C-alpha cells in the first residue's frame, strides 16, 4: 500500500505564500493524491486532486490562490496570499484499487499556522 508522509506543522506570515508537501512512498511515486482542508472543529473539505505530471483539478469554490504541483514522489499544495482563514490542518489522501482491493490512505496531516 502507498504511504503518504507529511510534516506535522508549518507556519507562514499573513499575506505570504507557503508550499505544503505530501511525499509518496518511492514505489508509488506516480500516484495521484488529493488535498483536504480541515478547519478546527470542522469536517474535511476537498481542495484538489494532484497528478504526477502536476496537473490538478479543484473542488467547488476553491480560490485561485490554491495551486497544486508535483516533483517526483512529492505532491505540493501552494497557498498564496495567506489569509487567517487558511489556518487549518491539511491532509493528503490517495484512493486506490490494488489486486481488486479498494482502499484509501491518508498522510498524518500538516497543521498550518498563519502568523
Q: Which residues bind another protein (CB under 8 A)?
A: 34, 36, 42-46, 48-49, 57, 59-60, 91, 93, 95, 101-109
Q: How far is the CB of 13 from another protein (least distance, A)?
A: 26
Q: Taking the complex as a whole, how short is the minimal distance between the CB of residue 65 and another protein, in angstroms?
A: 19
Q: Cβ closer to another protein: 17 or 113?
A: 113
Nearer to another protein, 14 or 42 (CB): 42
Please classify residue 26 by burial: count the beta carbons closer than 10 Å to its beta carbon, then call 0-12 exposed, 13-18 middle and 19+ buried.
exposed
Name the strands in the sheet holding 18-24, side by side, starting at the edge strand that comes first in the sequence. 4-5, 18-24, 74-79, 66-71
H-run or E-run covering 79: strand 74-79
Q: Is 85 helix (H, G, I), strand (E, B) or coil?
A: helix
Minimum distance of another protein from residue 67's CB (angstroms): 16
Place of cell 482563514: 85
| Beta carbon nearer to another protein, 44 or 79 | 44
Amino acid at each position: 500500500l502507498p504511504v503518504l508522509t507529511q510534516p506535522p506543522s508549518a507556519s507562514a506570515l499573513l499575506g505570504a505564500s507557503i508550499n505544503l508537501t505530501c511525499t509518496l512512498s518511492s514505489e508509488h511515486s506516480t500516484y495521484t493524491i488529493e488535498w483536504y482542508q480541515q478547519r478546527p472543529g470542522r469536517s474535511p473539505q476537498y481542495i484538489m486532486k494532484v497528478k504526477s505530471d502536476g496537473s490538478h483539478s479543484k473542488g467547488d469554490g476553491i480560490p485561485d490562490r490554491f495551486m497544486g504541483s508535483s516533483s517526483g514522489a512529492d505532491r505540493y499544495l501552494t497557498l498564496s496570499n495567506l489569509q487567517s482563514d487558511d489556518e487549518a490542518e491539511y491532509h493528503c489522501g490517495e484512493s486506490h484499487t490494488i489486486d481488486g482491493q479498494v482502499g484509501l490512505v491518508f498522510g498524518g496531516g500538516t497543521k498550518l499556522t498563519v502568523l
